[in-house]
Structures are given as C-alpha cells and as structure tokens.
Amino acid sequence: MTEVVTAADADLTTWFAAYRLYTGYAGLLDEQRLDDWLELFTEDCLFRVVSRENEQRGLALALMRCEGVAGLRDRVHAIREVSVYAPRTMRHLVSGLQVTAGPQPGTYRATASFAVLQSLESEHTTLFAAGSYTDVLVRQGEALRFAEKTAVYDGSLVVNSMVFPL
C-alpha cells in the first residue's frame, strides 16, 4: 500500500508545497490571471479535463486536452482572442488533498476533490462542475509544479460551455 502524506505526517514540507500549488492554481484561475497560471506547469506537461465515465472506461476523449505549456498557451490565447462567451466569474473550491509517492523518483501523485461555481451577470450562481483532480507533481527548485493535471468531472455534461479550465 502506498503511504499517504497528509498535513499530520512527517513530510509536512511536501504536503504544504502541494497545498500551495493547489491554492495558487484555484486562485489564479478565479482571478483569470492565466499567464501566471501557466507557470504552475512543467514545460512538457499534460493537461486534461475528462468525464468520469470516459476516465473509468479508459477512453481518450477529453473535453479539453493540452500537451505542454505551448498547448496551454494556445488555450489561453483562444480564451482571450477567439472565443465568444458571456462574461462570468468562476470560483474553484479544492479540498481533501492527498499526496503519495509518484511513478518516478522525485515525483508525487496528488489527488483532491473540486467544485467549480459559475456566476453569470444577472443570474444566480450555479454549480458548474464537481469532481476530482488526479495529478503528477514534480519539484522545481523550492516549488512543486504540475507534470500531469487531470480534472475528472463527475457528470456526463458540464453546464453550457467550458471556457476556463477546471
């Protein structure tokens, strides 16, 4: 069985670095500071947003898939310059962070639950998506970065269109 590193365990430094990464991730997306958000990923990262059904069946189809920071940068460009959408505020809530040893030395697996709320002008705030993150983290200097970030949303659909990453 893989040992889980939590705030109560000996490796508090690693868990806290992961906590800072996840809270930074949520905050930067909420504030739409997408250029700063890109800095949370390794250059050759993999980013996916996939339904629970597709993930459980091992199907490759993802609602969003970006390979490397270059792919994420293209997505940011599309959000800013190409996509047409109603103005919205997103709020990412993250909880239940767990960190374990990763697939290679010096890497970590991290999981957490998420809920993303959406507020459109003149409308009530709604639950946009809920699910779990399953990620691979690597240390770069004093900080951790996402080498793989997968947001698995629970339902088979998301409310209207997905503009911003989960």
Model pLDDT for residues 69-121, shown as the tens digit of each residue: 999 999 999 988 887 788 889 999 999 999 999 988 889 999 999 999 999 98
pLDDT of residue 82: 86
Q: Does residue 1 have a pLDDT over 50?
A: no
Model pLDDT for residues 134-166, shown as the tens digit of each residue: 999 999 988 999 999 999 999 876 666 788 999
Judged on CB neighbours under 10 Å (0-12, 13-18, 19+), 15 is buried
For residue 17, CA distances in Å to 21, 34, 69, 76 come to: 6, 21, 21, 25
DSSP 8-state assignment for residue 74: H
Asked if residues 110 and 103 have their Cβ atoms less than 8 Å apart, the reply is no
Handedness of CA 78, 118, 29, 158 (dihedral sign): negative
pLDDT of residue 87: 85
- In the chain, pLDDT over 90 holds for what percent of residues? 68
The average pLDDT across 33-62 equals 94
pLDDT of residue 7: 45
Q: Does residue 31 have a pLDDT over 80?
A: yes
Question: Global pTM?
Answer: 0.89
Query: What confidence tier does 9 reach under pLDDT thresholds 50, 70, 90?
Result: very low
Query: What confidence tier does 2 reach under pLDDT thresholds 50, 70, 90?
Result: low
